[in-house]
Amino acid sequence: MIRKLKLGVIALSVLGIICAVTLIQWQPANSAPTPSQAIHLLNRLSFGPTPGDIQQVQQIGIDAYIQAQLHPESLPNPAQLSQKLNQLSTLKLPPEQLLQTYSPQGDKRKNQSDATKKKQQQQARKPLQEAIEARLLRAVMSPQQLQEVLTDFWFNHFNVAADKGKTKFWVGNYEAAAIRPHVLGQFRDLLAATARHPAMLFYLDNWRNSAPGSPGAKGQFKGLNENYARELMELHTLGVHGGYSQADVVTLARILTGWGIVPPGQPGAGKFFFDQNRHDSSNKVFLGQSITGQGIAEVEQALDLLAQHPATAQHISYKLAQYFVADDPPEVLVDRLAQTFRATQGNLRVVLETLFQSDQFWEQQYYGQKFRTPYQYIISLLRATETPTAETKSIDGWLKQMGMPLYKCSTPDGYKNTQGAWLSPDAMTRRLSLALSLGRGNLRHKTPVDTVQLKQTLDGLLSPKTAAVVDSHPANLQASLILGSPEMMNR
């Protein structure tokens, strides 16, 4: 009963000041940044400050911090993180070996004992469990924070769901091979890497996509499948208002026939494979451009057209501005980013540099106005409190409770990053419960959060009103109040 009363006190205190936002005066980037400016930068380019981060940004300056984050190779991971990642063996395996090693073989399981079947089921969960652990470890511990933020952003943009069949074996490799290496490179390379990966091809069914009447169109490969073609245009490139037609969807599906993976039961099952016997080799017109029937080269030509299309530049620029600036991003910023995208043929590093140096990014009206997703909120708490990430199952459990389990967004559009998707009374209650639990040390081997250290870590974050509410409560509740404050809910 006492615990429930205390939680109620915290909830009332925090919810009573949820709308309070600090007014921050912007200064030019070449001036010594204020704590508020440093926090704004850390909240947008990272998952939030760890002890010493605000002081570091103030010391090296805003421009230096941005450039370091745009070039993550200059920020080596700590030895402890590298050691932990090296222990996750499944991250190093290619898709075909993951499938061969961890996918239970149906025919061979018929005469197996229940104990053997249970062991195989546990083994089958290992790739997904290690993918989750690796993501959480990097997000919390890596100094390459922009790399981690962008990995989260682009995975959602090119979403695949581990809940769909064999995709669960491949999500870790998909992130490691198709997403992570390209988040600061050329968009065309990122597009191609996702288009070739078995996780995407299986999740959106293109591995079955076959030209009707082709020699290989039989059994499970019989017929045209438009799923991937539609999402490739609507979500990944042009956007829903990108000017394409249903005829373009069908044509792209025909271009993508035979573009898939080695089928189960064959050598190399799970590996990318183009099956000429299932391909529509006729000439086509896609987005007003003639494409000569020439097999796999047709797909590369289609990807070129999509990556270079002005609608793609606009769609990607809008999503980046929405993620890093505001739910309803300023049109002038979106247009400027789109111009940069087109001028650099989709150089994502340059597009982001343009964004971070823009006047709109630094306008005070956008400070602290992006409501954190459950993932962003939880990671920000772990970073601010230096909570060990050994209990990744507990962290993933909190994500599930808040409706955002890693790698399990069932729809191809991925998890939203806007306030309307995540702000609700139930969501706030769950967040406050986590803040109370973490503040008391329940995720820290029963070691409560050091309130003095937390205040130093978040120096300049709390508004005077929030700080007054925190200071008016007993010392053993102050850390939880800070972690559950509106300033921690937003970024």
Residue-wise pLDDT tens digits, 369-406: 999 999 999 999 999 999 987 778 889 999 999 999 99
Name the 3-class secondary structure at 260: strand
CA distance 310 to 328: 21
Q: Judge whether 378 lies within some domain.
A: yes
Q: What whole-number distance in Å separates Cα of residue 436 and Cα of residue 455?
A: 16
The verdict on residue 320 lying in a domain is yes
Which sign does the torsion angle of CA 368, 370, 375, 376 carry?
negative
Residues 112 and 97 in one domain: yes
Same domain, 104 and 166: yes
- What are the pLDDT digits (tens) for 432-491? 999 999 999 988 878 999 999 999 999 999 999 999 999 999 999 999 999 999 999 999
Q: 274 lies in a domain?
A: no
Residue 157 backbone zone (phi > 0: left; psi -120 to 50: alpha; other: beta): alpha
- Considering the domain boundaries, does residue 278 fall inside one? no
Whether 162 and 130 map to the same domain: the answer is yes
Does residue 136 fall inside a structural domain?
A: yes
Tokens for 203? Answer: 């999740």
Final residue of a domain: which of 203, 236, 271?
A: 203
State pLDDT tens for residues 6-64. 444 444 343 343 333 222 333 444 568 998 999 999 999 999 999 999 999 999 999 99
Q: Read off the tokens for 61.
A: 């300056």
Q: Same structural domain for residues 445 and 358?
A: no
What total number of domains does the chain contain? 3
Q: Residue 179 falls within a domain, yes or no?
A: yes
Per-residue tokens: 144: 């390459």
Based on the fold, state whether residues 390 and 456 are members of the same structural domain. yes
342 shares its domain with 385: no
Residue given tokens 């400027």 in the structure block: 336
- Whether 329 shows a pLDDT value over 90: the answer reads yes
Q: How much is the pLDDT for 19?
A: 32
Contacts of 32 (CB under 8 A, 6+ apart): 58, 61
Same domain, 331 and 442: no
**Three-state secondary structure of 127-160:** HHHHHHHHHHHHHHHCCCHHHHHHHHHHHHHCCC
Q: Are residues 477 and 440 in the same domain?
A: yes
Same domain, 443 and 355: no
Q: Among 203, 232, 250, give the residue marking a domain's end.
A: 203
Q: Which residues form the domain of 480?
A: 2-22+371-396+432-489
Model confidence at 114, pLDDT cuts 50, 70, 90, reads confident
CA distances from 84 to 81, 87, 311 (A): 5, 5, 42
Domain for residue 96, yes or no?
yes
Q: What amino acid occupies position 393? A: K
Q: What percent of the chain has pLDDT over 90?
A: 86
Residue 117's pLDDT is 82
Same domain, 344 and 440: no
In a domain, 451, yes or no: yes
